[in-house]
């Protein structure tokens, strides 16, 4: 059937996840397709934060570390995120920023393979991942080799016996391509290397099975598909088999085996707690904890199923409404090879996105010509998708984006 607003309406009426939209405080008149950058505010979070700030902090004061169990929050919330990425309990902790966790975990990963001098990363990895891989390599005297999924096997052969870690993103932040976590992890292992993954664009969006896939280490941010809020703390996964040997460069007191002994020397906790560093960002951490509930209730598999259906509907709309208007879908069409956002090239992407935002359709732009549109099945509707594509058609066919207002590039794109 030809994609239309009527079809969108009927698909919405039959959508079992439609009620989950009410779990998010989305403003009226906004089509929010930027959950791959900042997930929307879950409706329950303001009430929880009011309690955390006024009662827990305001009234319980320092006692809240025990009474409200602030102390255990990094591992408690870690286990909840662990369930979303296929990790059994005791292997995931929350805290610090994604960048800090990437550096800390990557150095520790390389230290698990002493004598190996190569760190393999993915050429299109998010900039912070590449910058930090380069810095970790400088610190450890390693060489960084950038590969793509197509060139990885050859690079591992070329550097046989030398590769310490293969560090890949599960979903490409720009194109939305989904990498084969199990297959690449296996390749890394066959080369004697460890596999470390950045799950930022995958966790909560696509089914990830870190334990079943034999992943060694992983990190990810929580403000995208987990809706933890701007700057919410990242998570680190360390497979149980590696924890006792994990030599992390940032040895803060929260990762000590007995933090309140205030001992002279650092003795790492025997388990995942050693990945803790300093005092967690408690307010953000507790906002994140409250934010996870709708996704947990819906289940990642159901969200993924709907997101893929939204994707098919989007492709149908794009094929029938955007042809000849300068747009080109850059994300793989194969559902097995795409994550949860679409990359659509347009030579005037910044101006087009500015015009779309003026019409209430919010996405973002990367690599100057790529519009990113995130179709998160948890709260995006078929009608949203149709509205967005209709706005793209209207803007590009009328040249509305060429208005002077839309020629100014914003600081955050
Ligand atoms: C793949 C990936 N890694 C890391 C980050 C960000 O790291 P941080 O939260 O430290 O800014 C992002 C997004 O900003 C990302 O997309
Ligand atoms: N982390 C962000 C930020 O601090 C400001 C604005 C956007 C972001 C993002 O999350 C960008 C995102 N990781 C990306 O895929 O481009």
> Any idea what the CATH number is for the domain that residue 359 is in?
3.90.1150.10
Active site residue ranges: 126, 198, 223-224, 372
Residues 104 and 244 in one domain: yes
Ligand nearest to the CA of 125: 1
Residues 36 and 137 in one domain: no
Q: What is the mean pLDDT of the chain?
A: 97
Give, in order, the Cα–Cα distances in Å from 411 to each of 350, 364, 365, 372, 408: 11, 12, 12, 17, 10
* Residue 32: its H or E element: strand 31-32
Residue 46 forms part of a structural domain? no
Please name the residue whose Cα sits nearest to atom 3 of ligand 2.
37
Q: Percentage of the chain with pLDDT > 70?
A: 100
Residues 209 and 349 in one domain: no
Residue 229 forms part of a structural domain? yes
Ligand nearest to the CA of 171: 1
Residues 25 and 147 in one domain: no
Nearest Cα residue to 352 out of 407, 411, 315, 311: 407
- State the pLDDT at residue 409: 86
- State the pLDDT at residue 402: 96
Q: Using a 6 Å cutoff on CB, does residue 37 contact ligand 2?
A: yes
Residues 115 and 205 in one domain: yes
Cα–Cα distance for residue pair 14/380, rounded to 1 Å? 14
> Does 198 show up as a binding residue in the annotation?
yes
Region 318-327: mean pLDDT is: 97
Among 279, 309, 326, the domain-final residue is: 279
Looking at the predicted structure, is the pLDDT value of residue 1 above 90?
Answer: no
> Does 15 show up as a binding residue in the annotation?
no
- 144 is in which domain, residue-wise? 71-279
Please name the residue whose Cα sits nearest to atom 2 of ligand 2.
37
Ligand 1 centre to CA of 167 (Å) is 14
Residues 30 and 90 in one domain: no
Handedness of CA 88, 94, 100, 104 (dihedral sign): negative
Number of Cβ within a 10 Å radius of residue 261: 10
Region 182-209: mean pLDDT is: 98
Residue 54 forms part of a structural domain? no
Ligand 2 centre to CA of 130 (Å) is 15
Residues 233 and 303 in one domain: no
> Does 270 show up as a binding residue in the annotation?
no
Residue 57 forms part of a structural domain? no
Region 6-17: mean pLDDT is: 98
Ligand 1 centre to CA of 221 (Å) is 6
**43-76 residues labelled b (16+ CB within 10 A) or e (exposed):** ebbeebbeebeeebbeeeeeebbeebebbebbbe
**Which structure tokens are listed for 96?**
């610090």
Residues 324 and 254 in one domain: no
Q: Which atom of ligand 1 is nearest to the CA of 231?
A: 9
CATH of the domain at 157: 3.40.640.10
Residues 341 and 211 in one domain: no
Cα–Cα distance for residue pair 382/310, rounded to 1 Å? 6
Ligand 2 centre to CA of 310 (Å) is 23
Q: Which atom of ligand 2 is nearest to the CA of 412?
A: 6
Residues 249 and 177 in one domain: yes
What lies within 8 Å, CB to CB, of 286 at 6+ separation is: 48, 49, 52, 56, 70, 73
Residue 51 forms part of a structural domain? no
Looking at the predicted structure, is the pLDDT value of residue 389 above 80?
Answer: yes
Region 327-335: mean pLDDT is: 96
Region 220-248: mean pLDDT is: 98
Residues 320 and 382 in one domain: yes
Query: Pocket around ligand 1: residues whose beta carbon is below 6 Å from it?
Result: 97-99, 126, 128-129, 169, 173, 198, 200-201, 221
Report the complex ipTM: 0.97
> Does 368 show up as a binding residue in the annotation?
no
Cα–Cα distance for residue pair 238/105, rounded to 1 Å? 9
Tell me the per-residue pLDDT of 332-387, one tens digit each, with 9 for 90 and over: 999 999 999 999 999 999 999 999 999 999 999 999 999 999 999 999 999 999 99
> Does 129 show up as a binding residue in the annotation?
yes
Q: Would you call 324 helix, strand, or coil by DSSP?
A: coil
pLDDT band at 54 (very low <50, low <70, confident <90, very high): very high
Ligand 2 centre to CA of 59 (Å) is 35
- State the pLDDT at residue 2: 79
Nearest Cα residue to 168 out of 190, 212, 135, 201: 201
Residue 331 forms part of a structural domain? yes
The answer to whether residues 208 and 228 touch, using CB atoms and an 8 Å cutoff, is: no
Cα–Cα distance for residue pair 163/140, rounded to 1 Å? 13
Nearest Cα residue to 205 out of 216, 215, 220: 220
Residue 285 forms part of a structural domain? no
Tell me the per-residue pLDDT of 167-181, one tens digit each, with 9 for 90 and over: 999 999 999 999 999
Q: Would you call 403 helix, strand, or coil by DSSP?
A: coil
pLDDT band at 408 (very low <50, low <70, confident <90, very high): confident
Residues 37 and 92 in one domain: no
> Does 222 show up as a binding residue in the annotation?
no
Q: How many domains would you assign to the chain?
A: 2
Looking at the predicted structure, is the pLDDT value of residue 293 above 80?
Answer: yes
Please name the residue whose Cα sits nearest to atom 6 of ligand 2.
412
Residue 185 forms part of a structural domain? yes
Q: Which atom of ligand 2 is nearest to the CA of 231?
A: 4
Please name the residue whose Cα sits nearest to atom 15 of ligand 2.
173
Q: Which atom of ligand 2 is nearest to the CA of 201?
A: 15
Angle, helices 127-140 vs 98-111, to 10°: value is: 40
Cα–Cα distance for residue pair 333/313, rounded to 1 Å? 12
Ligand 2 centre to CA of 351 (Å) is 19
């Amino acid at each position: 059937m030809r994609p239309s607003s009527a079809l969108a309406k009927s698909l919405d009426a039959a959508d079992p996840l439609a009620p989950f939209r009410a779990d998010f405080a989305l403003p009226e008149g906004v089509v929010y397709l930027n959950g791959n950058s900042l997930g929307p505010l879950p409706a329950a979070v303001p009430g929880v934060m009011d309690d955390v700030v006024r009662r827990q902090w305001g009234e319980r004061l320092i006692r809240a570390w025990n009474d409200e169990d602030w102390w255990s929050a990094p591992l408690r919330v870690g286990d909840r995120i662990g369930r979303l990425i296929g990790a059994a309990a005791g292997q995931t902790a929350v805290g610090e920023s994604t960048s800090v966790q990437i550096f800390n975990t990557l150095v520790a990963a390389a230290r698990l393979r002493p004598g190996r001098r190569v760190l393999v990363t993915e050429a299109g990895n998010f900039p912070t991942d590449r910058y930090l891989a380069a810095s970790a390599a400088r610190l450890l005297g390693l060489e960084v080799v950038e590969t793509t999924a197509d060139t990885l096997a050859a690079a591992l052969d070329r550097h046989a016996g030398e590769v310490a870690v293969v560090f890949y993103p599960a979903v490409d932040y720009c194109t939305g391509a989904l990498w084969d976590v199990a297959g690449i992890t296996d390749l890394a292992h066959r080369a004697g290397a460890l596999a470390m993954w950045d799950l930022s664009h995958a966790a909560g969006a696509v089914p990830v099975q870190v334990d079943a896939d034999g992943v060694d280490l992983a990190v990810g941010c929580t403000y995208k598909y987990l809706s933890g809020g701007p700057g919410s703390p990242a998570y680190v996964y360390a497979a149980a088999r590696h924890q006792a040997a994990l030599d992390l460069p940032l040895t803060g007191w929260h990762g000590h085996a007995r933090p309140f002994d205030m001992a002279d020397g650092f003795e790492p906790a025997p388990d995942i707690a050693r990945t803790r560093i300093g005092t967690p960002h408690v307010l953000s951490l507790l906002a994140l904890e409250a934010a996870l509930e709708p996704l947990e209730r819906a289940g990642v598999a159901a969200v993924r199923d709907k997101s893929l259906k939204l994707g098919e509907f989007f492709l149908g709309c794009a094929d029938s409404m955007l042809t000849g208007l300068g747009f080109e879908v850059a994300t793989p069409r194969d559902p097995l090879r795409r994550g949860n956002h679409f990359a659509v090239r347009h030579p005037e992407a910044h101006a087009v996105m500015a015009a779309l935002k003026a019409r209430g359709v919010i996405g973002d732009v990367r690599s100057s010509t790529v519009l990113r549109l995130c179709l998160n099945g948890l709260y995006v509707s078929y009608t949203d998708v149709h509205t967005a594509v209709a706005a793209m058609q209207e803007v590009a066919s009328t040249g509305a984006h060429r208005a002077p207002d839309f020629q100014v590039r914003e600081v955050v794109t």
